[in-house]
Amino acid sequence: MSRDISERKRAEQRERMEHAVTRVLAESETLADAIPKIVQTICETLNWDCGARLEHGRGGKRPLAAFETWTIPVKAFADFIAEVRQLTFQPDPSRPGAASVDERHASTGYRT
């Protein structure tokens, strides 16, 4: 008899990530110091090749854009992150809570 334990493994992985992020927060002097480390910790713990933290401009009036980013040391991922950092995501009024990228800026073939 066999059973699928993948959900349990994912839950354990998320728990390890939460503990690691908590440790980063506890050891950091400021939130600004912690955020790049948090992005890296999440990516490494969840086995992601790259990640980015998106943020609205001041007061939430500007579109979403990538701020802190992290990637494994592979040129293709570094190129992808460089491209993502150039994108902005406009609110999509037809879908509350959603955003879309201006197609003029998505010329590399990467999709978000």
Express each pLDDT in 49-95 by its tens digit.
999 988 876 655 667 888 889 999 999 999 999 988 888 877 777 77
Structure tokens that stand for 74 in this block: 């592979």
> For the chain, what is the mean pLDDT?
82
Say which residue, 89 or 111, is predicted with more confidence.
89
pLDDT value at position 60?
55
Alpha carbon distance 33, 102 (integer Å):
31
Alpha carbon distance 32, 53 (integer Å):
12
Distance from first CA to last CA of the chain, Å, rounded? 41
Amino acid making up residue 53: R
Q: Is the dihedral of CA 18, 24, 30, 35 positive or negative?
A: negative
1 pLDDT above the threshold of 60: yes
